[in-house]
Amino acid sequence: MQLRNIAIIAHVDHGKTTLVDCLLQQSGAFRENQRVAERVMDSNDLERERGITILAKATSVVWQDTRINIVDTPGHADFGGEVERILNMVDGAIVLVDAAEGPMPQTKFVVGKALKIGLKPIVAINKVDKPDARADEVVNEVFDLFAALDATDEQLDFPILYGSAKQGWMSADPEQPQDSMAPLFDLILKHVAPPQVEAGPFRLLGTILEANPYLGRLITGRITSGTIRANQPIKVLSRKGDLIEQGRISKILAFRGIERTAIDVAEAGDIVAIAGLSNGTVADTFCAPEVEAPLVAQPIDPPTVSMTFRVNDSPLAGTEGDKVTSRVIRDRLLKEAEGNVALKIEETEDRDSFVVSGRGELQLAILIETMRREGFELAVSRPRVVLRRDPATGQLLEPIEEVVIDVDEEHSGVVVQKLSERKADMVEMRPSGGGRQRLVFHAPTRGLIGYQGELLTDTRGTAVINRLFHAYQPYKGDLAGRRNGVLIANEPGEAVAYALWNLEDRGPMMIEPGWKVYQGMIVGEHTRENDLEVNVLKGKKLTNIRAAGKDEAVRLTPPIRMTLERSLAWIDEDELVEVTPKSIRLRKAHLDPHARKRAERAKETGAVA
C-alpha cells in the first residue's frame, strides 16, 4: 500500500481538529453506528475543557488504496515545541487558514518552520460559510506571508482549496460547494510526495513520547530506513551519538483510524509507535545494533519564561493532596521534561524548589493544572522572563513578542495607551473589516504577563489577542508593576461573614465565609498601594441588650474568583500561588510579618548598594 505523511498546521481555533474529525468520518474510519465524540483527537481532559489542542497526535485514513498518516498539531505558540518536532515526520502540510481572520501569528510561526525544512504546503481556506469571510483577500495575505518567510518559487506555487470543515466539504471554487472532502484527499495524493526512504538498516527518530499503563514507554516516530519486526533487538543513541540503552521491541503499534493496532512488521516511511525500551526519549535515534551515527534532530527554540516550583510549606500543606514531597515533585517534572523538549528543569541549591522554564505562561499553567489533577500540592512563583547576555557586547537581552490584537475601533485608543505603558512599540495598525482594527506590536514578554485579563476588561471582552516569540532585543528598562497592595490575614482560622463585611471598604475580597485561612495568606486586594494585615475571624460582639436599630443582615459582595492563570499573572515578586487538588490560594512568600519586613529591608539595602 502506498503512503503519504501529512501535518495539519494552523493558528489556534482555525478548525484543525474539526477537519481531522471530518477526514476520519468520510474515509470510513468509523463504523456507521459508532458513537464518536466531537473533536475526537482532543483526547486529553484539559484539551476538551479549553477547546484547544495541547499535544500533537497522529491518526491515519485510507483513500484509494493509499494510507494517509495525519498529524494534528497544537495551535498555541506556547506548545510550539510539539510542532517543531513533528514536522520531521511528514512530507507535506495542510496550512489551514480562517476565511475571516486570515493568517495569524501562530500560522506564521509554524509555516516558517515547515518552509525551512522544504515542505510543500497545501493552503485550505476554512470557514468560508462565515458571514464575514473574505477568502480572496486571505489568499493574498497567505501569499505575502510565504514570500516574507523566504519560500522558494515551488513553495509559492501552492494549490488552494476552499471549504468548511464543520459542514464537511472542500472545493477548488468557493462559489461551488461540494458535498465531501474528496477534493482535499485527491490533492493530498497528487501534491504530497511519498515518504523518502533511505537505504540501510532500521533507524527511527523519536518524536512523541507517552506512557502506557500496559506497555510502558511508547515512542512514536517515522521509520527513516529499513524494516522492523516485533522482538527485534535494537539500541538507542543520543543526539551526540552516545549509547543510551539496548533492548528488544515488545510491540509495534500502527495508527489505524483513531485506534492503534499491533502489527508484526513495519516498513520504512511509515509512522509507528514502538514499546519495550525504558530510557529512550524524544530526539533520540532508535536503530539496529550495527548503526553507529544518530539521525539529526531539529533544534528547538529556547524557553523564554521561567517559574519556581516549590514544596508547599503553608500551614494547610498536605490536607488536600497526597503528593507533597520534593522527591515526588522532582520525579514528575523530570518525567514531563523527557516528553516535552520545550521545557527545561533546573534544581536549586535548597533542593526544595525547581526552576521550570518554558515557552509561555499558558504552557506552564497547563503543566501546573495537570499536576494538581494528579494529586500534587505545590507553591509556584510569578512567571519571570529568561534574560540573556550578548556574547559579543555583554549587553543584557530580553525576549520580545509580536502581539496581534483585533479590537473594535472605539477601544483601540486604550489598547495602544496600555501597551505603550508596557514598553511596546506599535508596528502596524489597519482595519480588519466589520468596524474592527488589527493592531500589531513588538512588546517585551515581561510587559505581557497578566495583560490578557486587563485587555478584556478595557475592551468589554471583545478583543482577541495573539502572541508569538519574535526575537531577543536589548533590555527595555523597568516596568511599572501592580499598583495595588494586598489584604493579608493576620491569624489562622475560618473566615467569618461579619468580618469580611466590615472589611469591604478596604478592597475586594478573594475568599468566602467559612474558608480556612492562615497567617500570611492573601485574602483580598487593598484599595491603596501598601499591604495591610487584617482580621477576617472577628465575629460580632453579642450582648443581651437589644439595639435600638434593627440588626442589618450581612450582605457580602461576591468575591473575585482567582483562576490559576489569573493568579499567576496577578501576584507580585514576593508572593506565591499555593496550588492543591481542591484549592488555589494566594500567599506571601514569607508568612511571618517580621520575616517579611526583614526581607523588604534587605531588598532595599541591596537596591541602594
Cα distances from 146 to residues 122, 125, 160, in angstroms, run 12, 15, 14
End-to-end Cα, the chain, rounded Å:
73
How far apart CA 100 and CA 129 sit, in angstroms, is 10
Integer-rounded Cα radius of gyration of the chain: 27
Residue where the block lists cell 524557553: 303
Contact 162, 128 (CB under 8 A): yes
Task: Check whether 129 is labelled as a binding-site residue.
Answer: yes
Task: Check whether 127 is labelled as a binding-site residue.
Answer: yes
Closest-CA residue to 429 (of 417, 419, 439, 415): 439
Spell out a b/e string for 389-414, using b for 16 or more CB atoms within 10 Å of the CB, else e: eeeeeeeebbbbbbbbbbbeeebbeb
Three-state secondary structure string covering 210-279: EEECCCEEEEEEEEEECCEECCCEEEEECCCCCEEEEEECCEEEEEEECEEEECCEECCCCEEEEECCCC
Closest-CA residue to 194 (of 98, 66, 286, 294): 66
How far apart CA 22 and CA 166 sit, in angstroms, is 8
Task: Check whether 15 is labelled as a binding-site residue.
Answer: yes
Task: Say which amino acid occupies 101.
Answer: E
Task: Check whether 344 is labelled as a binding-site residue.
Answer: no
How far apart CA 199 and CA 225 sit, in angstroms, is 6
- Return the bridge partners of 251, or none: 275
Task: Check whether 14 is labelled as a binding-site residue.
Answer: yes
Closest-CA residue to 112 (of 500, 351, 450, 468): 468
How far apart CA 336 and CA 359 sit, in angstroms, is 14
Contact 239, 259 (CB under 8 A): no
Task: Say which amino acid occupies 15.
Answer: G
Task: Check whether 18 is labelled as a binding-site residue.
Answer: yes
Contact 485, 466 (CB under 8 A): no
How far apart CA 488 and CA 479 sit, in angstroms, is 25
Interacting residues of 148 by C-beta distance below 8 A, sequence separation 6+: none
Closest-CA residue to 73 (of 87, 95, 56, 60): 56
The string of DSSP codes covering 334-366 is HHHHHH-TT-EEEE-TTSSEEEEEES-HHHHHH
The string of DSSP codes covering 177-222 is --SSSHHHHHHHHHHSPPPP-BSSS-EEE--EEEEETTTEEEEEEE
Contact 469, 301 (CB under 8 A): yes
Task: Check whether 461 is labelled as a binding-site residue.
Answer: no
Task: Check whether 73 is labelled as a binding-site residue.
Answer: no
How far apart CA 461 and CA 29 sit, in angstroms, is 40
Mark the binding-site residues, compressed into ranges. Answer: 13-18, 126-129
Mark the binding-site residues for GTP, compressed into ranges. Answer: 13-18, 126-129
